[in-house]
Amino acid sequence: MSHVAILGAGVVGMTSAWYLRQAGFEVTVIDREPAAAMQTTFANGGQISVSHATPWANPDTPLKALKWLFREDAPLLFRLRSDKAQLKWALAFLQECSAARTDSNLVQMVHLGLYSRAALQALRADIDIQYDQQTRGIMHFYTAKAEFDAAMAPTQRMQELGCERHVIDINTAVSLEPALYPIAHKLIGATYTSQDESGNAHLFTQRLGERCIEAGVKFMYNTKVLGLNLDQDEGRTCPRIHSITIEPAGENAQSFTADSFVLALGSYSPILAKPLGINLPIFPAKGYSATYQINPRAPHLAPFVSLIDDEFKLVTSRLGDKFRVAGTAEFNGYNLELNPTRCAAITRRVQQLFPKGIIASSVEYWTGLRPMTPSNVPLIGRAHQGHVRHGSSHPRGQLDNLWLNTGHGTLGWTHACGSAKALSELMLGLTPKVDFDFVGL
């Protein structure tokens, strides 16, 4: 039985572990945290949102980013730094903002999203996993006409690709989600995708981890991955990882061997890949979330339908008796400090929308690093040396046993099951039934 080591125990790493184990591999998961889903997956927006596929890199973004440059509470904020990696990433991001690239990237994300949502639904039915899921769809609502008008073309494009996102009028929006009634007079319009979902990604990942253990997956927590070690045999046609260097808590650095390795470390993936000559165009985008206790005296005034506030780049999900609001993106390197101004902006918007549905004083703020590629399209497939992007390959520099499942940006939870299922099939030598540009093929 071939042994696979998965580096990273977030939702992408854990789903990879599940599908690879189901495919017959021996699997070990390695993570520096004491448990699963303690970083980017910990308190994300909770949405399975195929309909949220419009890339951040689109023709409207450069002008918006300039307007937001000196706004501390801006939905998209670039911190100007003397950082070559950030500058290189920003230039690549600008290249992806053309209309043609935007459409191409949207197609990739919708295809993967539809495949992944179906995989999650099948998995849930198969193992009866519960994670505060809501299957009431996702609604984009608009309080600014310009944002509503800008959503029409992507909505139509998604429909053409099979995503059932439809424009609805205000009466229909309020009927679907009565918590919007108090602000109905402020709404310009909405779109609705009935098959999209929401749920607690942290809870899902930890419970799937329990199922993985039952299935025979091994876990090494509190263990840092320090490096990937290339086989120095020059007679090989393709480079190969012969081991990784790990550092378990309280112990010295040591080698760990496996037949194959899966890099699922999100924003930290480029750090491990770079010494091998693998350029992963991933830069951390700091996202924020706020979690509120739902008002027990008026629970109906907090939404059940998962919402997307496109004007403020926020998403909402009801998770049991909690209400999660997440979003925005701050490009500030690997900084994980909470910015009080950005936190306050989230609560201010929530109080404008649902003042009586939540207990504002109960708020718990969190921030995590989303692994963003310039195109917003994740990197899934066999690693190769040189510059990597979706669909890229390098026959001479292809690494025989290093696989990528990283760079999922804001849609890691949405794309996790599909990415992992496809990766398991690729590693079996099969062709996944999804039209997606995998790496290294």
pLDDT averaged over 10-residue windows placed end to end, the chain, 441 residues:
96 98 98 97 97 94 81 80 86 96 98 98 97 97 95 97 98 98 96 98 98 98 97 74 97 98 98 97 96 97 96 95 95 93 95 96 98 98 96 91 97 98 98 97 85
Instruction: Give rounded-to-5 percent helix, strand, coil for the chain.
Output: 35, 30, 35
Q: Which two tokens stand for residue 315?
A: 């998403």
Cβ(253)–Cβ(245) below 8 Å: yes
> Which residue shows structure tokens 């496996």?
258
CA nearest 412: which of 52, 101, 4, 5? Answer: 52
140: enclosing H helix or E strand: strand 138-142
Sign of CA dihedral 16, 20, 21, 23: positive
CA dist., res. 378 & res. 385, Å (int): 17
> Which residue shows structure tokens 């040591």?
254
Q: Which two tokens stand for residue 154?
A: 């992507």
CA dist., res. 200 & res. 433, Å (int): 27
Exposed/middle/buried for residue 113 (C-beta within 10 Å: 0-12, 13-18, 19+): buried
Give pLDDT, residue 359.
97
Give pLDDT, residue 72.
83
Half-sphere exposure of 361 (CA within 13 A, CB side): 0
- The pTM assigned to this predicted structure is 0.96
212 SS3 class? helix
The amino acid present at 348, given as its one-letter code, is: R
